[in-house]
Amino acid sequence: MTRNIVSNIKLFHIFIKKRKLATKKRILDQAIKAFNKSGYGAVNLFELAKSLDMSRGNMTYHFKDKEALLKEITDQLWEKLTNARVAKSIPSFQNLHHDAQLYYRLQKEYSFIFHDNQVLKHSLIAPKMKSLAAKTVQDIEMAIAFSIQLGNMKAEPVPGVYKNLAITSWMMMFFWSSQQTIRGDKTKEDGEKVIWSLLLPHLTKKGLASFKKFFGQDYLTSLGEEFDQNMDSYLTF
């Protein structure tokens, strides 16, 4: 009899724990949705609780304030980044492709973080973003250096070109969705083709062959709209 009581108590605690976790997940999912739609600063806990059909008090039992929500969301984002950005023994442009696609996916999922300068400056996020930016730029620099050693990329034409290329490539990853918003660009294109457009002129014949082998000829011919060099197209009177 005593064993049954103990067993039932354990099952009850497991049930309560699972229920709490399910409720927390529901709150987090709705918070991310609301922040992405309206912005972090525009959402208050009362409206968020109302959208979840729960009282504000019930919601603050799980998250005492918006900053607690932001911390949990940030931890969630970084866990996904950490798990997906596995340690790479060999720096390569294939890994650059993997990371670029990862960042584009996360920008869509957590757009309010990448679009809101105040959120980016928040003490919970700014140090991590700074560290991640530095690591990403370093990874790109390593990939360039490795490609030069393999004979896939030409030597740097003048000092500063490849350092700037690494920083620009990082910017194309991190701020692509923001520039789409500013320009009103509603296409589903990501910024990786822009990155490759910047890198291609620096590839050797061997590097170009490796690029085609990995991405295919169709990708190479679909990097963007052909540039119009006719000045008559730009002159207006």
67-86 residue pLDDT tens: 999 999 999 999 988 887 65
Q: Identify the segments of the chain with pLDDT beneath 70.
A: 1-21, 85-90, 237
40 burial (CB, 10 Å; 0-12 / 13-18 / 19+) is buried
pLDDT at 236: 73
- Look up tokens 């609780």; give the residue: 49
pLDDT at 6: 57
% the chain with pLDDT above 90? 57
pLDDT at 202: 97
Over residues 177-190, the pLDDT tens digits come to: 889 888 998 888 88
Q: What is the DSSP string of 155-174?
A: PPSSTTHHHHHHHHHHHHHH
134 burial (CB, 10 Å; 0-12 / 13-18 / 19+) is exposed
**The two structure tokens encoding residue 226:** 């052909």
